Structure 1
Amino acid sequence: MEWKRQPGQMFGPRGVPLPGQSFAEPDGKKPKGRKRGGARPEPAVVAQQAVRELVLPDPEIRTNPDETYAQLVRVPTWMWLDRVMWKPVSQTAKVPGVSVTATAIPRSATWRMGDGKTVVCEGAGTAYSAKYEADSESPDCGHTYVRSSAGRPEEAFTISVTVTWDVEWHGGGEQGAIPGLHTQAQMSLRVAEAQALVVS
């Protein structure tokens, strides 16, 4: 069945409208709403409105070595996200008689490294600094390439990160959770083979 999308409509897997929302039937007719003066809106319905109005920040990818330099095969690459965006984001929706606040919390970052490998990090990752050895591994979010990106488009791997957010809401004497909102970013990363220098 093909549903007609309405402004602000949120959909789940396979294009099915999320529960608790109004949507048009396939024939274009709108479902009957409550009459004025009737029962107050369900908090779960107002929560969906608050979720629609959430503005989640886009991830900002950071690596060491920096993306302007080539990574080296068999030398650890550090990945992390700007910590400014790794914090809860809240939004409150109000309708007559009901106020609901939804809070999105970043839970994990899934990195696809472009070489067929996937790395799942439970947090934003640790930013590299001079206090670490140059060839040390990240304590919580890193990857070591075993082959170069030679022969790939623009001689680089395309890496991407998907941040998973869980939403908790409360209001109107009720509370609930909506898992699995996502934000994404990607960038190109060159990986080179280290060349040995023989000195006679």
Structure 2
Amino acid sequence: MNLGHRAVPVVATSLVVALLGSTPADAFGGSDTRGEAEGNQISASAKHSRIRVTQVSGPTGGKQGSLSSTDVNWKPPPCWYEPVFSPEQLKTFSENEGDGDVGLRTSWYGTELWTDHFRDEKDANNIFRAPSTVKGYKNYNLGKDGYFWRGVAPDVFNLDDTSLCTRLMFWQDAGTIPDDPNAPTPKTLAEYAYNKVKVPSTEIEVKPAAKSTVNLPTWVWLDKGTFKDVKVRAELPDTGLWAETTAKPVALHLDPGTADAMTYPGSGNCTINDDGSIGTPYTKGDADKTPPCGISYLRATDGSPYRLKASITWQITWQGSDGTNGDLPDGTFDTTQDMNVQEIQAVNR
């Protein structure tokens, strides 16, 4: 299928899939240099954001993982607008490439479509929102200080939510943010960074470690300093916008992996102590004591170990470049480890 100079409205997931084999890879986020956007690089794909996320503080080594929100109804923003091209960049792209996304649901293939609208002042159609006709630009606005903005969505196949950001690429003067309900804000960046936060995957300390005994408490703890706050910074180039999102460990929840067990405390929620530790380390002579954080198994394992799951709850807060701040839903990260449990053997004489 030869698309030639065509404007392709992306109106359904099936259409996107059908076009993948016959359109330039970068138009839908391919693997070449134009299909990825990091920092100040440009991209022809509306699924690539220029937001830069860097870790400011917290552990960086060892195993790490992403948080799961405790609020099942919370979602990060589905789309927003951000600067994509300077006038010079758009001129180069339009006259040499000309294949890619001019809007979140509209792709133009062929340099003529780009040059007609952005160089030669010809109006363009936008079938997804009013006004349906967008006035053209003269010579890419060369000489003006600003950027062309476009809708961006991490999940371009989420057609319901991404309908919010379907304007064709538009001009915005430097130092200003579009007057649009889906323009980016520090909160947008903070929510975007939520899934970029990487927390450490550290196994809890248990005693006895290798094999527990029925009805005897298993002590669980984490030494102070094992878990520290993790802070990431999200910045959107050419806007002055940034946000720092901080994840603070606040609790440990124990799930023994079987109904035949008791947790200490009964809720299974072990709070973090003032010094950053959780629970109390087991010492010799504590076997018959009740641990502040732990488990008692009531039935022995039979060939297959119990899977003890430890879930750390992380409290998420953020602050932004304009002085705004707030809370995001708590996040959790789970680790599991095998627990073998034996019966006490007694000999009658």
Normalised to the residue count of structure 1, the TM-score between the two structures is 0.78
Q: What is the match of residue 159 of structure 2?
A: 26
Q: How far apart, in 2, do the equivalents of 1:141 and 1:26 lie?
A: 46
Q: What is the match of residue 271 of structure 2?
A: 122
Alignment pair present for 1:73 and 2:214: yes
Shift of residue 127 of structure 1? 2.0
Q: What is the match of residue 203 of structure 2?
A: 60
The AA in structure 2 aligned to 1:126 is: T
Alignment of structure 1 residues 1-200 onto 2, 5 Å: 13=72, 17-19=75-77, 21-22=79-80, 23=153, 24=156, 25-26=158-159, 31-32=165-166, 35-37=171-173, 38-39=176-177, 41-66=184-209, 68=210, 70-81=211-222, 83-95=224-236, 96-116=239-259, 117=261, 119-123=268-272, 124-130=278-284, 132-138=285-291, 140-150=292-302, 154-171=303-320, 172-198=322-348, 200=349
Shift of residue 182 of structure 1? 1.4
Alignment root-mean-square deviation, CA: 3.2
1:152-180 deviation digits (Å, cap 9, x = unpaired): xx332111111111111112210011122
The AA in structure 2 aligned to 1:86 is: F
1:58-77 deviation digits (Å, cap 9, x = unpaired): 131221001x2x21111111
1:114-145 deviation digits (Å, cap 9, x = unpaired): 22256221223222234x5332221x211212
Computing the radius of gyration over CA atoms, which structure comes out larger, 1 or 2?
2
Q: How far apart, in 2, do the equivalents of 1:7 and 1:72 lie?
A: 53
Unaligned runs of 5+ in 2: 1-11, 17-46, 50-67, 81-152, 179-183, 273-277
SS state at 1:50 partner = helix
Unaligned runs of 5+ in 1: none
1:10-57 deviation digits (Å, cap 9, x = unpaired): 98736x742474433428878236743341731101212333332211
Checking the alignment, whether the CA contact within 8 Å between 1:100 and 1:170 is kept in structure 2 is yes
Decide which moves more: 57-66 or 119-128: 119-128
SS state at 2:191 partner = helix
Percent same amino acid among aligned pairs? 25
SS state at 2:334 partner = strand
CA 1:187–1:7 in 2, change beyond 3 Å: closer, same or farther? farther
Higher percent of residues as helix: 2
Checking the alignment, whether the CA contact within 8 Å between 1:78 and 1:128 is kept in structure 2 is yes
The AA in structure 2 aligned to 1:181 is: G
Checking the alignment, whether the CA contact within 8 Å between 1:163 and 1:184 is kept in structure 2 is yes
The list of structure 1 runs, each at least 4 consecutive aligned residues, that deviate by more than 6 angstroms after superposition, is 27-30
Q: How far apart, in 2, do the equivalents of 1:7 and 1:97 lie?
A: 19
CA 1:169–1:99 in 2, change beyond 3 Å: closer, same or farther? same
SS state at 2:198 partner = coil
Decide which moves more: 30-39 or 81-90: 30-39
Checking the alignment, whether the CA contact within 8 Å between 1:20 and 1:44 is kept in structure 2 is no
CA 1:35–1:62 in 2, change beyond 3 Å: closer, same or farther? farther
Checking the alignment, whether the CA contact within 8 Å between 2:216 and 2:287 is kept in structure 1 is no
Checking the alignment, whether the CA contact within 8 Å between 1:60 and 1:82 is kept in structure 2 is no
